[in-house]
C-alpha cells in the first residue's frame, strides 16, 4: 500500500483520533470509548465519543506540558518523541490510577479514569501533577531486546 494512500485512509477511519493510541496499542490499558482497527499491517484506535476525546486531549496536553521541564524540552508543539510519549501516556495513567487508588493488577479504562478525575478535581488544571509526574518518571517501557551472537 502506498504510504500516502495509507495515511489518507487512516485519517478517514479515525473521525475522532484517540490521543491515548500509543498506550492502547502497547496493551497497557483499555478504553470503553476506543475502537481498535487494523489497516494494512498496522493497528490504530479511534474514539467513539467527541466529548471523551476532548477530555482526554486536554488531560494529555497538560501532562505533556508538565513533563517539558523533566524531559528538558524547551518548546512543545504536539506529541513528544515516541519513547517520551509512551512514558507520558502510560506513566500518566499509572499516576491517575494511584490518585484514584485503583488496583494495580487490574486493567484501567481510560475514559472511566479521566471522567472520575475530572469529577473529583473539577478540571484537569486542578490535578496534583507533582504526584502524577512521579509515576511518569518511574515508568519504563520494555527493555530493548539484545541480539544473540
Q: What is the pLDDT of residue 103?
A: 86
Mean pLDDT within 46-57: 91
The answer, yes or no, to whether residue 1 has pLDDT greater than 60, is: no
**CA-based diameter of the chain, in Å?**
55
pLDDT band for 44, please (50, 70, 90 cuts): confident
Give tens-digit pLDDT for 90-130: 999 999 999 999 988 888 899 999 999 999 998 888 899 99
The answer, yes or no, to whether residue 29 has pLDDT greater than 80, is: yes
- B/e letters for 32-71, b = 16+ CB within 10 Å, e = fewer, are ebbeeeeeeeeebbbbeeeebbebbbbbbebbbebbeeee
Mean pLDDT within 84-92: 91
Mean pLDDT within 50-70: 89
Q: What is the pLDDT of residue 79?
A: 72
Amino acid at each position: 500500500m502506498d504510504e500516502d494512500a495509507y495515511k489518507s485512509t487512516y485519517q478517514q477511519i479515525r473521525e475522532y483520533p484517540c490521543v491515548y493510541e500509543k498506550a492502547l496499542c502497547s496493551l497497557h490499558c483499555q478504553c470503553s470509548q476506543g475502537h481498535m482497527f487494523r489497516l494494512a499491517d498496522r493497528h490504530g484506535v479511534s474514539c467513539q465519543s467527541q466529548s471523551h476525546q476532548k477530555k482526554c486531549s486536554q488531560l494529555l496536553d497538560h501532562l505533556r506540558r508538565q513533563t517539558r521541564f523533566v524531559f528538558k524540552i524547551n518548546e512543545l508543539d504536539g506529541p513528544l518523541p515516541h519513547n517520551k510519549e509512551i512514558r507520558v501516556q502510560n506513566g500518566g495513567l499509572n499516576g491517575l490510577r494511584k490518585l484514584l487508588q485503583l488496583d494495580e493488577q487490574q486493567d484501567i479504562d481510560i475514559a472511566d479514569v479521566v471522567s472520575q478525575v475530572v469529577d473529583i478535581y473539577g478540571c484537569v488544571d486542578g490535578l496534583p501533577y507533582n504526584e502524577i509526574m512521579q509515576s511518569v518518571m518511574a515508568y519504563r517501557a520494555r527493555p530493548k531486546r539484545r541480539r544473540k551472537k
